Structure formats: structure tokens, C-alpha cells
Structure 1
Amino acid sequence: MFKHLLVPTDGSTLSEAAMHMAVGLAKQDRARITGLYMIRPFHMTVYSAEMVGSNQDEFQAVDQERAQLYLETIRNIAVQAGVECDTDAPTGTHPYEAILETAKKRNCDLIVMASHGHGGIRGMLLGSETQKVLTHSHLPILVVRPPV
């Protein structure tokens, strides 16, 4: 049914669950997957606590290492299942844009991603990347939610 699945990750346990689900689907359909982690540019506006006290080179080096670690996880899961996997780590400001651009560039036909379930006011304030992908994508999206 699907031939090429895109699996974005943020390194969370829930993202890893989405990886396992995507690899299972890919194995079943004899499809391939692309793992994605977006490397964030360094800004004077702080995105996270790890940026405080960092300079641009330090921050980028840490985020590059994080990308390698997270993408290696998906490669390992895919290899163990016998599923073809490649990865991408573009730099961008908005993860949802990186997800949609990569899906288009790589000719993916399904996006499998986690949603941490931040609904209501918290979701509005934090902004849900999953919600933005759902809103702007023309591809089918399989959303992996936390267990209830």
C-alpha cells in the first residue's frame, strides 16, 4: 500500500514508538523509510534551557550529535527488521516545514509521527508540530499517541 514512509523524531520515547510502528508497516508493505530530525539554528531567542550560556558552535555541535543519535536509533530498528532506511537532518526553524519539505523532496507517501497530546490551552501556547503537519499536509499521516 505505502512505498515510502517519513518518520520524524524528537528523540522522545513516543517518537521511538512511532519508529517501531513505521518500521512494522514498512516491513509489511515492503516499503522503505526515511528518518528525520530537524537541526535547530542558534538564535539569541532561547528555544530551550540548553541554549542559555551556549555559543553558536557549541549549540550546533550538540544538536548535530543529537541528530546522529536519534537517526542511528531509527536506522538500527529498521536494519533489525530488514527494512531499507535512510535519514535526513536538515536545518530549519519550524519542524513542521522541515517534515513537509522532506516528505515532498523524498516522494514519501505516508508520514508516521508522534503526538504528545498537548491539547487545550497548553497545545495552543506551545504549538503542536503534529497539528501543523496535519493542517498543512496533503499526505496521509499516522499519528502515534501516548497510551491512555
Structure 2
Amino acid sequence: MYKHVLIPTDGSPLSTEALEKALDFAHEIGAEATVLVVMEPLQVFTVNPAGLEIAYAEYDRKNNEAADGILGDATGAAKQRLVACETIKLVSADPAKTIVETAEKYDCDLIAMASHGRSGFKAFMLGSVTMKVLASSKTPVLVYR
């Protein structure tokens, strides 16, 4: 059925739970997994950019450190489940587009991801990465809630 599952994660508790369930599923069906963290770049608009290089460098350092921790934990979880797993860390201001493109690039036949279940005003203002992936992906999407 499915041979290669893409598992995007942001390290949140719900996303981590979805990661673990997706790895369990991958083990059950004999699929390999690719775990993806999409790091959003720091976006600051100012008329006085003095000193922003330091802020950007510190943000990038902490962002990479957090992503490496998330991916390290995912690698460990995959090993426990005997699932072949690759990890990817990308930078993008559009995580949904990056998730869809990554699934296509790596020939994934399923995307398994969490949905934080925002509704009402929050969903309207913030949007939903999951909803955008569902709307634009040709790859089937399994949503954990």
C-alpha cells in the first residue's frame, strides 16, 4: 500500500504524538519514513536595521538547535520501531508549500501530520498549515488530531 511516509513536525506535543503514531503506522505497513522540520525565517520589518544581524544570527542558531533536537528525537523513535528513517531540515516562509514539494521530491506516497484544530477567528487569521497541505497536495494526507 504505502511505501514512503512523509512526517512533518514542529515539535509541539500534538505534532510529536502524531509523529509517534505515524511511525507506528509505518512500522505496521513496512514503510520507510522521512521526517521533516520546516523552519520559518525571522521576518522583521524596520526602518532602522542596525544590529539586526545579531538578532538574525541568534534566531537562526536557536531555530537550528531546536530543529536538530526534534529530528534527533524522531530518529530515536524510528529506531525503536525499526523504521528506516531519513530526516530533513528546511527553511521556508511557506511551510505548507514546502511540505507538498518535499513529498513530491522524495516520492512519498503519504503525508502524515498533526492538525492543531484551530477554529473561528484563529483559523481565519493564522490559517492552517494542515488545511493548506490538504488543499494543495496530490499526495494523500493522513491527519492526526
Task: Give the aligned residue type for 2:125.
Answer: L
Identity rate, percent: 40
- How far apart are 1:42 and its partner, in Å? 2.4
Give the Cα separation in 2 of the matches to 1:2 and 1:18. 17
Task: Give the aligned residue type for 1:63.
Answer: N
Paired position in structure 1 for 2:88: 88
TM-score (norm 2): 0.91
> Unaligned stretches of 5+ in structure 2?
46-51
Query: After superposition, where does 1:9-20 map in structure 2 within 5 Å?
Result: 9-20=9-20
* Structure 1 residue ranges, 4+ long, deviating more than 3 angstroms after superposition: none
Task: Give the aligned residue type for 2:94.
Answer: H
Give the Cα separation in 2 of the matches to 1:12 and 1:40. 15
Q: Secondary structure at the match of 1:108?
A: coil
Q: Larger Rg: 1 or 2?
A: 2
CA RMSD of aligned residues (A): 1.8
- How far apart are 1:86 and its partner, in Å? 0.5
Paired position in structure 1 for 2:42: 42
Cα deviations by residue, 1:20-50 (Å, 9 ceiling, x for unpaired): 11111111111100111012222214xxxxx
Task: Give the aligned residue type for 1:136.
Answer: S
Q: Secondary structure at the match of 1:37?
A: strand
TM-score (norm 1): 0.89
Question: How many residue pairs get matched?
Answer: 140
Paired position in structure 1 for 2:29: 29
1:138 aligns to 2:138 (yes or no): yes
> Unaligned stretches of 5+ in structure 1?
46-51
- Name the structure where strand makes up a greater proportion of residues: 2
Q: Secondary structure at the match of 1:55?
A: helix
Give the Cα separation in 2 of the matches to 1:40 and 1:115. 18
Paired position in structure 2 for 1:6: 6
Give the Cα separation in 2 of the matches to 1:97 and 1:10. 15
Task: Give the aligned residue type for 1:107.
Answer: D
